[in-house]
Copies of this chain bind each other. A is one copy, B any other.
Amino acid sequence: MSNFPNALETLIDKFAALPGIGRKSAQRLAFHVLALPEEEALSFAGAIEEAKRTIHCCTVCQNLTDSEICPICSSDKRDKSTICVVAEPRDVLSFERSREYNGVYHVLHGVLSPLSHIGPDDIRIQELVARVAAGGISEVIMATNPDTEGEATAMYLSRLLKPFEVKVTRLAYGIPVGANLEFADEATLLRALSGRIEM
């Protein structure tokens, strides 16, 4: 038997449904929200509604945006002929932080995952093919995560894009900068060896 009133129980359930939040944390968060001043709690609820209402996918690259076309796709300083294909919107941020990449992106919103029943129609693959088919693209860089599903997705996409005779590349594998060779796993070492370059 729980001693929490229903509305509190519901709020705890909502928090517990978020990824990485267990029952105990959800309780702590719900108590925190209840202890907030009225105004702040309502502005939290409002932020969820507002984000859900105004944010959608860029019609070009599928990244999250509040305009029809995201700032990156609409910037005339970016090289529209190079597309970097990433799995999630947060991956775009990683690239932007490096300040080196000047092309545009394509966000898949997931990777192919037969075990989770995520097939080609469940992620934004059609949109990528349409962009490449429309022409003007010189290179597509696959930047999905270097795990099984990420690699399978990159492989699937590269085959799908073959008929368009566009250059398809993959991010380099290797030892991360600053890492210790001692702790590098075998697969990474093998990739770093086979991808070695002349100095």
Contact = CB atoms under 8 A, between A and B. Distances in A.
A51 interface: yes
A27 B92 CA distance: 13
Contacts of A14: 43-44, 47-48
Contacts of A4: 64, 93
Count of this chain's copies in the oligomeric assembly: 2
Interface residues of A, number: 57
Given A14-B44, A65-B5, A29 B19 contact: yes
A50 interface: yes
A6 interface: yes
A52 B38 contact: yes
A28 to B, nearest CB: 6
B51 A33 contact: yes
A92 B5 CA distance: 13
Contact of A33 (B48, B53, B66): B48
Most B CB within 10 A of own CB, among A3, A7, A88, A93: A3
A88 B31 contact: yes
Given A8-B64, A19-B29, A20-B25, A3 B92 contact: yes
A10 interface: yes
A55 interface: yes
Interface of A: 1-8, 10-11, 13-14, 18-21, 25, 27-36, 38, 41-55, 63-67, 71-72, 88-90, 92-93, 96, 109
Given A20-B29, A33-B48, 13 more contacts: A4-B93, A5-B67, A6-B66, A8-B51, A18-B33, A19-B28, A19-B29, A20-B28, A30-B51, A34-B64, A41-B52, A42-B49, A42-B52
